[in-house]
A = this chain, B = another copy of it.
């Protein structure tokens, strides 16, 4: 039961940054949107997540103002922290053996990229294929296809663990032996390029295993 949309996670982050409360809240909201709200174990939204960020200003530096280089550094550090925490949750999903990152590029909007990433991340067939260390990339393409985004498949490019699989105009370029071997890693990267824009989104999930079923079917016995 993990797909925070702020729904079974409690995250507490502290900082000694000197920063205005409203700016901190906005910055944190954006960081959470791109980290904790971009992971899914099974698509079942969890029921009581929260994330809290406290900054007490004890650094005694001058105040961090929006748009400054200091703000940029603070934001990047915050996104790094929330993203690493979020990935730890996905990696620790019930019965999981692998962390799967889905990176969607070339979208016309971030929302479009996110819808496609989420569709692939929540596909039981993709997640069982990765569990089986099987380069069944057709399942990824199918999940893109039923995402609800109307797009031209001719422009889709796909790589698994940085090894090219599919290039524009339906060119299948996979070296199955190389890809299959790379799927033995614990960290799997699915890169999808839609070839129609410049927007991107990343999303993290885990493989679907027999242990996931055991844990969720028999947790009371």
Contact = CB atoms under 8 A, between A and B. Distances in A.
A158 interface: no
A217 B209 CA distance: 8
Given A44-B125, A123-B43, A213 B143 contact: no
Contacts of A218: 132, 134
Contacts of A123: 43-44
Contacts of A210: 210, 213-214
Interface in A125-144: 125, 128-129, 131-132, 134, 139, 142-143
Interface of A: 1, 5, 42-45, 47, 122-125, 128-129, 131-132, 134, 139, 142-143, 145-146, 208-210, 212-214, 216-221
Given A43-B124, A128-B212, A129-B216, 4 more contacts: A43-B122, A44-B143, A45-B145, A131-B217
